[in-house]
């Protein structure tokens, strides 16, 4: 009995990762590189929004599928996008144990102190039916940090993060579910924040990149101006607020987000009025 239990505890699960992107070659290339290292490229499923999109040069054995462009303004288009990805995830769960659903600028990371890959860690925890990493919104400190060098790792150049509940997402699922827009919640289910998982979001990693997106007529035509403004806001919060260096703030944020919910969506986390800016521990610096 003990031997059977031990073998089951270390049995590796089959895990897929899915995303959908448009005009996002830079982040998508990083997404492929990271999740290939954690899961293997044959377990990546990339949906390109529009038949005009180029297949990423480092796609390898990943499954890349061109979709017809999802039309409409960002809110309605996002609902259709997540309806499609929820359906895809449900189909993949016929052959996979778990599916990770994230945007191209989001990276689900196991705390390096666990000394495990993402696949190893997820194979040993309960996911019923979903699990979240703590949302870590990385942003450029406009006074202390230079423009991004695209040839270097993100976290070698960025040291500060906004603890944003927007990115504490139920990214990992074990059963077919319906994700809400942006993967922000699973409809009809609560969320569970794992103590060793972090969801790093890099949409605010560089001010010059955001300024370029304001010049992207394709993005502006779909009403994404407000969305991009939120990314610039993250940088200003990081630049203006006191930086908290003790790691106990991660534990506090998990507790607070689990306890406090927005009245309009009780199955989503919230940081309410708190704007906590933390320093990213050194052990994460070479991961992404």
State both tokens at 228.
Answer: 């991009």
The domain spans of the chain are: 2-284
User: 267 with 159: CB under 8 angstroms?
Assistant: no
User: 46 with 65: CB under 8 angstroms?
Assistant: yes
Which phi and psi (to 5°) does residue 117 adopt?
-75, 170
* 169-178: burial string, b at 16+ Cβ within 10 Å, e else: bbbbbbeebe
Report pTM: 0.91
Q: How far apart are CA 199 and CA 168, in angstroms?
A: 7
CATH number for region 2-284: 3.90.550
Residues in contact with 161: Cβ distance below 8 Å, sequence separation at least 6, in sequence order: 136, 137, 138, 139, 200, 238, 277, 278, 279, 280
| Confidence at residue 225, expressed as pLDDT on a 0 to 100 scale | 54
| Confidence at residue 2, expressed as pLDDT on a 0 to 100 scale | 39
Question: CA-CA distances (angstroms) from residue 155 to 29, 94, 197?
Answer: 16, 36, 16
Q: How far apart are CA 89 and CA 122, in angstroms?
A: 17
For residue 42, count CB atoms less than 10 angstroms from its CB and return exposed for 0-12, middle for 13-18, buried for 19 or more.
exposed
| Confidence at residue 14, expressed as pLDDT on a 0 to 100 scale | 98
Q: How far apart are CA 155 and CA 132, in angstroms?
A: 21
Nearest to 111 by CA among 246, 255, 284: 284
* Residue with the two structure tokens 């895990």: 15
| Confidence at residue 1, expressed as pLDDT on a 0 to 100 scale | 36
Q: What is the pLDDT along the chain (288 residues), one digit of tens a residue?
A: 334 433 445 699 999 999 999 888 999 999 999 999 999 999 999 999 989 999 999 999 999 999 988 766 556 788 889 999 999 999 999 999 999 999 999 999 999 999 999 999 999 999 999 999 999 999 999 999 999 999 999 999 999 999 999 999 999 999 999 999 999 999 999 999 999 999 999 999 999 988 876 555 555 455 455 656 777 899 999 999 999 999 999 999 999 999 999 988 899 999 999 999 999 999 999 999
3-state secondary structure of 196: strand
Q: Using omega within 30 degrees of 0 as the cis cutoff, is the peptide bond preceding 129 cis?
A: yes
User: 178 with 92: CB under 8 angstroms?
Assistant: no
Which residues are 277's β-sheet partners? 162, 243
* Residue with the two structure tokens 């999740």: 35
User: 136 with 107: CB under 8 angstroms?
Assistant: no
Residues in contact with 119: Cβ distance below 8 Å, sequence separation at least 6, in sequence order: 12, 13, 15, 38, 39
| Confidence at residue 72, expressed as pLDDT on a 0 to 100 scale | 61
| Confidence at residue 218, expressed as pLDDT on a 0 to 100 scale | 55
């Amino acid at each position: 009995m003990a031997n059977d239990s031990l073998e089951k505890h270390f049995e590796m699960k089959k895990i897929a990762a899915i995303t959908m992107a448009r005009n996002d070659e830079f982040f998508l290339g990083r997404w492929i590189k990271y999740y290939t290292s954690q899961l293997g490229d044959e377990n990546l499923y990339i949906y390109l929004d529009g038949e005009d999109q180029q297949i990423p040069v480092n796609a390898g054995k990943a499954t890349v599928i061109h979709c017809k462009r999802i039309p409409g303004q960002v809110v309605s288009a996002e609902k259709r996008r997540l309806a499609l990805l929820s359906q895809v995830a449900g189909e993949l769960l016929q052959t996979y144990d778990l599916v990770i659903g994230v945007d191209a600028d989001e990276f689900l990371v196991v705390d390096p102190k666990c000394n495990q890959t993402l696949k190893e860690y997820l194979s040993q925890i309960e996911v019923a039916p979903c699990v979240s990493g703590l949302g870590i919104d990385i942003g450029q400190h406009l006074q202390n940090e230079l423009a991004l060098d695209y040839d270097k790792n993100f976290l070698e150049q960025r040291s500060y993060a906004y603890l944003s509940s927007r990115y504490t997402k139920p990214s990992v699922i074990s059963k077919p579910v319906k994700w809400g827009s942006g993967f922000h919640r699973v409809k009809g289910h609560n969320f569970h924040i794992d103590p060793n998982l972090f969801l790093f979001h890099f949409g605010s990693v560089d001010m010059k990149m955001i300024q370029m997106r304001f010049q992207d007529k394709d993005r502006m035509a779909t009403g994404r101006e407000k969305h991009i403004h939120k990314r610039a806001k993250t940088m200003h919060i990081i630049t203006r607020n006191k930086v908290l260096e003790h790691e106990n703030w991660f534990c506090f944020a998990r507790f607070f987000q689990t306890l406090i919910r927005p009245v309009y969506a009780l199955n989503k986390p919230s940081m309410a009025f708190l704007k906590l800016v933390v320093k990213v521990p050194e052990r994460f610096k070479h991961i992404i």
